[in-house]
Structure formats: structure tokens, C-alpha cells
Structure 1
Amino acid sequence: MSDMFSAEWMNGFKERWNADSDLAGALEKIGFNSTIGYGFDGEASPRGFIRVENGHVVEAGDYNNQELNWDLRATPESWNKWMKKPPGMMGLGMAYTSRKLKFNVGDYTAMIKDPRMAGPFIRSFSAMGS
């Protein structure tokens, strides 16, 4: 397996995301567009990113100062844990409140209160780990 959040890894994530109708399809229904960075807590910038248009990832790779709507950070250990066993709604809430999952950019509260976004967000962890 390639290094987590490397360009190769992010492109594999893109393929899995787009193949998952409960993820890409659900976000397509609400016209979800976003640029999302992924990385490790404590680092200056994310390592990888995806750009989503109408629910589908249209670009993925190394982060190179793209303007982000979301910037998600956690330790490598936490990312690995969630990829092996994706968190449910309660696990996600606990990860956020305990600062194991940080939103350096983006509004976690607004996202989690909207079931049209919360379900696919949780589903994205399954796409990461498959």
C-alpha cells in the first residue's frame, strides 16, 4: 500500500469514493462541491486533497496550496484505526470533542447536523479503508 495521503493513495481513494453510490451518489443528490485536504495533526499543511464536484471526486493528489473548504487532521494511528473500523455517528462525535479529529478548516457542527452530509462523511472512512 502506498503512503497514506500520497498522490497515489489519494487517487485510489478517489476511485473508491466515486464507485460508492452511498457516498458519491448521496452527495450528488445535494450538489455537494468541495475541496478537502487530509493530513496529520501538527503538520503545517495537509498532505493530500480531493476536489469534489456534484458529489464525485474530479481531482485528487498531493496538496499544493489549493484553497480548501475542509482540512481534516488526525494522527496516523487514528486515521489507521478509522480506516480499519469506520466510526459511527457517536464515534465521530467523540473523536471531534476529544480533538482526535480536527477540522482545521470547515464547520464540523453544520456538517454533522445535516444528515444529507453526515452519512456520506462517515461513509468516506469506509472508502479510505477499502
Structure 2
Amino acid sequence: MAELFSDSWMSEFATHWNAEPELSDALSQIGFNSVIGYGLDGDDAPKGVLTVENGKAVSGEAFSGQTLNWDIRASEDQWRKWMAKPPGMMGLGMAFTSRKMKFVVGDYSSMIKDPRMAGPFIKSFSVMGRV
């Protein structure tokens, strides 16, 4: 298995993202465009980046200085737990308030209050588990 959020891991994540209608199609319906960084809590920068245009992942790669709309961090153990057993809305709320999940860039509160974005965000964890 590729290292979490490495270039090859992110590329495979992008493929799985696009194959999941509850994620890519749902975000396409709202014209979602974003550059999302994923990384480990305490690191200076995210490890991987997913670029999404109109809901579809157009690239998944290692971070190389891209300007991010979102930068989501957690410990490697926590990421792996979420991939094995994706959190629900309550679990995400607890993770955010307990600081197990941190948004270095991006507004968690506004995203989670919009069901058009919250549902796909939750779905992204099960998609990560397919990588």
C-alpha cells in the first residue's frame, strides 16, 4: 500500500473519488471547485492535494506549494481509523471540537451546515478507505 497522501496514494484517491456518485456527482450538482490539502497534524504543510473541478477530481498529487481552499489535518492513526470506519455527522463534529481534525485552511462550520457539502465530505472518508 502506498504511503498515506503520497503522490501515488492521492492519484488513486482521485480515481476512486470520481467513481463514487455520492461524492463526485453530488458535488458536480453544486458546481464545487476546490483545492483540498490532506495531511498530518503538526506538519508544516499537507502531504497530498486533490484538485476538484465541478465535483470531479482532476488531479491527486503530492503537495508542492499549491494554493489551498481547504487544508485538513489529523494524526495518521486517526485518518486510518476514519478510513476503516468512516465517521458520521456526529463523529465529525466530535473530531472537530476535540481537535482530532483540524482545518488549517477552510471553514468547517460553513461546510458542515450545508448538507450539499456535508454529505459528500462524510462520503470522502469511505472513499479514502478504498485506496
Same fold (TM over 0.5): yes
1:3 equivalent in alignment to 2:3: yes
Task: Name the CA distance, whole Å, in 1 between partners of 2:82 and 2:68.
Answer: 22
2:108 and 2:95 mapped to 1: Cα distance? 12
Q: Which amino acid aligns with 1:106?
A: G
Aligned sequence identity (%): 61
Q: Which has the higher helix share?
A: 1
| Partner in structure 1 of residue 88 of structure 2 | 88
In 1, Cα distance between equivalents of 2:98 and 2:67: 27
5+ residue gaps, structure 1, are none
Distance 2:112 2:106 in 1: 11
Separation in 1 of the partners of 2:60 and 2:76? Answer: 20
1:77 is matched with: 77
Over aligned residues, Cα RMSD in angstroms? 0.3
Give the unaligned 5+ runs of structure 2.
none
Aligned to 2:14: 14
Matches of 2:126 and 2:4, distance apart in 1: 14
State how 1:1-130 maps to structure 2 within 5 Å: 1-130=1-130
CA distance in 2, matches of 1:22, 1:46: 25
Rounded Cα–Cα distance in structure 1 between residues aligned with 2:7 and 2:59: 10
Aligned length: 130
**TM-aligned CA deviation for residue 59 of structure 1:** 1.1
SS at match of 1:71: strand
Q: Distance in 2 between matches of 1:89 and 1:43?
A: 26
Runs of 4+ in structure 1 deviating by more than 6 angstroms, as ranges, are none
Q: TM (normalized to structure 1)?
A: 0.99
TM normalised by structure 2 equals 0.99
